[in-house]
Structure 1
Amino acid sequence: MQPNRFPLPTVLALVLAAALPGAAAAQGSERPPTPVTVVTLQPENVTLTSTLPGRVVASAAAEVRPQVAGIITERLFTEGGRVEVGDVLFTIDPATYEANLAQAKAQVSLAQAQLNAAEKELTRFEELRQRNVASDQAYDSALATREANAASLQVALAQLQGAQIELDRTRIRARLSGEIGRSLTSQGALVTASQAAPLAVIRNIDTVYVDVTQSAAEVLQWRRGAGVEGLGEIDRAVSLTLADGSVFDQTGSLTAAEPDVDEQTGVVVLRMSFDNPDKLLLPGMYVQVEMPTRPIVGAFRVPQEGVSRDRRGQPIAMIVTGDNTVEQVPLTIAQDLGSDWIVTDGLSAGAKVIVEGLQKVQPGATVAASERAQLAKAADPVANARTE
């Protein structure tokens, strides 16, 4: 066994000499504050909205149907085009109805001739009665014949009018101005006045409706918040999101609400009205409506990245106090609005909410806070040049 080359006291002295300078250096240095990014909040008035699914409905629709029977001889419109009230859309073979009209005219002429003859006969009996040649009975009979012939003339005139109407109906006209769809019949087809299938459909889409459904509970909350009357003039606008995610460039308004609740689904149907100058909205299209529900005074718009959840799922935020320490505060959230949360309780004016660096801090930690807007401005030389 080899003896130690260095005595124990010497080894201990060397170890202490090596450790003391590092320990002194550690005691003389402090950990720097953690850099975080904050957003300083101020209260503002916010209008809460509700996003509701819905379908586009034409403001008016008319099914084109025949009112007389016959063979379609011609189609006079362009499928998918626009038609105006009174435009002829289809024609039906008029031969039968022209014959009926001629017969009705003949009946009118016959009734008129019979009436003329009865009036002359009545005039002769009046003269004979004045000379006491004709009896009262003969005069009364002539008077009754004249009245019957006058009634027959009125019947014939009515039949003539009906025959003229039926002949006019062989030219099927548009009863609504709007966009007409495809033809559901063809030349040579037999149509009847009582058929169930329409020949075409005309829809007015210059203005369209959007029917949406809202739960009865939300309707109650909306009505208790004074409804549309409680919103400002600008906040009453209703926006529309299309199926491809784009926002429709026209705003609409609430025009009607069903006065009852569906017993099976518990929802109420609301109807919005939108101008559709470019015919972009088509009936049956699926859309989403963002409708204002109620205003909130003194709310805070907190960026969503500045809000987290505790172990119980309650929303919380980390704020920087006046002495640059971190404090955790519970929040009351009304709803989301875009990329922000609408907070109604838990914050005060001037609160600095941490939005970047949350994973590096804990309550009570000391931080070096930088305002998000200032960082964005410093990174934008164009904005700096405009400001200067």
Structure 2
Amino acid sequence: MKLHSALTCAGIAALAVIATGCGKSQQQQPQQMPPPEVGVIAAKAQDVPLTQDLTGRLSATRSADVRARVAGVLQKRVYTEGTDVKEGQLLFQIDPAPARATLNAQLANLASAQATYQNSHVAAERARSVAAKGLLSKADVDNANAAERTAAAAVKQAQANVETAKINLGYTSVTAPISGRASQQQVTEGALVGQGEATLLTTVEQIDPIYVNFTQAVGQLDSLRAAAAAGSVDLAEQNKAKIELLLPDGTPYADPGTLDFSDQAVDAATGAVSLRGTVPNPQHRLLPGQFVNVRLTMGELKHVWLVSQRAVQRDTNGAYVFTVGADGKVEQKRIKTDRLRGDSWIVTDGLADGDQVIVSGLQKAKPGQPAKATPWSPTPPNAAAPATAAAH
């Protein structure tokens, strides 16, 4: 009985040892961790418009001062202030009576000069006829010819005076020199105008199309020309460069414009170059003097990649991104960035089409280690679900 109990105890001890050994062997085996999941986007080369956001100010394409060019009393204003007028349209009427009287006086002087010339001409013809028969001295003939020439000159002078009087009479009807919008009158009816100087009556401005004036740093122009020389930019002709306007309230203006002037000199005070664009303004929504935001498109960057800012990292050696290769492992790629476009960097070198660029889960990615790539989107598909559930 004692022997059986001893054998039973020995068997139990042996089983315990075996169980303990199995437990130790299972704990010693390392557990295989799944690769971390990262969000990626597929790199795809494209042509990206080269845009710059600047600040500009609007001005009229044509502006003409309407002035009194003859002295007189302003009788009336014919146009409605702040409305569009056509070239040649009557705007003001100056009292024409003095100018008409001057014209009549000059017409009388012309008639007198013509009569004097006719008399001198007849006398000269008679003198020449008599002299041909030897009955008149040469001195008398010369005097008759001189009187005829003097009378002819007096006729021309009188004709010029009549023409001047007609012009001054025409100036009493003040017309629009250009088509455009006429502003407020500067002189009231009954005022004496044009006395010693050409009095300003109003201004006519042409605002369709309208100019937008702005400046661009010379360094930006230099970088653009360098990129064009390298072939990475398709530089549009300056008179074809596109202009888009944003109004002060942030509303985009519907009609795009074009760049039509670029100064050849740099402002020494600002280090910038003056530019000017022409923008259609059929509804007259844009007004001279107004400040606007200008988006200037000067060309296209050829064969570049747009990469989210979240994916681009930097160290002392420059910018880089992590990608998931065909073998499923993380790889570090050095890139060259040009500028920001929205929330993405424009990458000009370092990537290839199809590269799986890691955007989310970067803290889990290690170069040379495996990673599970899943498509990344700025807004996760299930992000709106909790909000929808809460609303219900």
Q: TM-score under structure 2 normalisation?
A: 0.80
Cα pair distance change 1:212/1:105, threshold 3 Å: same
1:272 corresponds to: 277
8 Å CA contact 1:39, 1:371 repeated in 2:
yes
Residues 220-299 of structure 1: pairs in structure 2 closer than 5 A? 220-226=222-228, 230-231=234-235, 236-299=241-304
The residue correspondences of 1:95-174 to structure 2 (distance < 5 A) are 95-174=97-176
The correspondence of residues 302-313 of structure 1 with structure 2, limited to 5 A, is 302-310=307-315
- Alpha-carbon shift at residue 193 of structure 1 (Å): 6.0
Selected match of 1:321 from 311, 325, 336: 325
Report the count of equivalent residues. Answer: 361
- CA deviation vs aligned residue, 1:112-159 (integer Å, no higher than 9, x gap): 111122122223323332443332222221211111111111111101
Summarize the alignment of residues 8-87 of structure 1 with structure 2, pairs less than 5 Å apart.
31-87=33-89
- Select between 136-145 and 295-304 the one with higher mean Cα deviation: 295-304
Specify the SS of the correspondent of 1:65: strand
Q: Secondary structure at the match of 2:87?
A: coil
Paired letter, 2:323: I
Which secondary structure state, in structure 1, belongs to the residue aligned with residue 54 of structure 2?
strand
| Letter aligned with residue 98 of structure 1 | R
Alignment TM-score, normalising by the size of structure 1: 0.80
After the TM superposition, which of the residue ranges 166-175 and 216-225 deviates more from structure 2? 216-225
How many angstroms does 1:365 deviate by?
A: 6.1
In 1, Cα distance between equivalents of 2:34 and 2:346: 34
| Residue pair 1:300, 1:344 contacting (<8 A) in 2 also | yes
Q: Which amino acid aligns with 1:112?
A: Q
Q: For the residues of structure 2 that align with 1:306 and 1:193, how far apart are their CA atoms?
A: 74
Change (3 A) 1:320 1:106: same
**Alignment RMSD:** 3.5
- 3-state SS in 2 of match to 1:238: strand
Check 1:375–1:55 CA distance in 2 against 1; reply closer, same or farther (3 A cut). Answer: closer
Q: Following the alignment from structure 1 to structure 2, what is the Cα–Cα distance between the partners of residues 279 and 97?
A: 39
Q: Is the 8 A contact 1:55 1:212 kept in 2?
A: yes
1:98 positional shift: 1.4
Distance in 1, matches of 2:55 and 2:296, equals 11
Contact 2:55 2:291 (C-alpha < 8 Å) held by counterparts: yes
Is residue 179 of structure 1 aligned with residue 195 of structure 2? no
**Matched residues in 2 for 1:96 and 1:56: separation?**
43
Alignment partner of 1:370 is 2:383 = no
Amino acid at match of 1:201: T
Q: Give the counterpart letter for 2:343 in structure 1.
A: S
8 Å contact kept, 1:332–1:345: yes
Does structure 2 conserve the Cα–Cα contact (< 8 Å) formed by 1:242 and 1:287?
yes
Give 1:48 shift. 2.3
**1:25-67 deviation line (CA, Å, top 9, x unaligned):** 8977655544432211122233422223222222211111111
Q: Residue 300 of structure 1 aligns with which residue?
A: 305
Which residue in 2 is equivalent to 1:6? none
Alpha-carbon spacing, 1:54–1:356, altered in 2? closer, same or farther (3 Å): same
What is the deviation of 1:257?
1.4
1:362 shift after superposition? 5.6
Residue from 330, 333, 336 that aligns with 1:332: 336
Match of 2:253, as an amino acid?
A: F
Q: Distance in 2 between matches of 1:107 and 1:309?
A: 92
CA shift digits 1:223-269 (9 cap, x unpaired): 34459x94369x84332323222222222222221121122222111
Tell me which residue corresponds to 2:90.
88
Q: Which amino acid in the other structure matches residue 326 of structure 2?
A: G
List per-residue Cα deviations over 1:320-339 (Å, max 9, x = no partner).
33344444444321011233
Partner deviation per Cα, 1:96-124 (whole Å, 9 max, x = no partner): 21111111111111111111221222233
Instruction: Go from structure 1 to structure 2 and tell me whether the alpha carbon gap of 1:218 and 1:379 turns closer, same or farther (over 3 Å shift).
Output: closer
Deviations 1:333-370 (A, max 9, x none): 10112332101133232222233344565656654332
1:199 aligns with 2:204: no
Distance 1:328 1:138, change over 3 A: same
Partner of 1:63, secondary structure, is strand
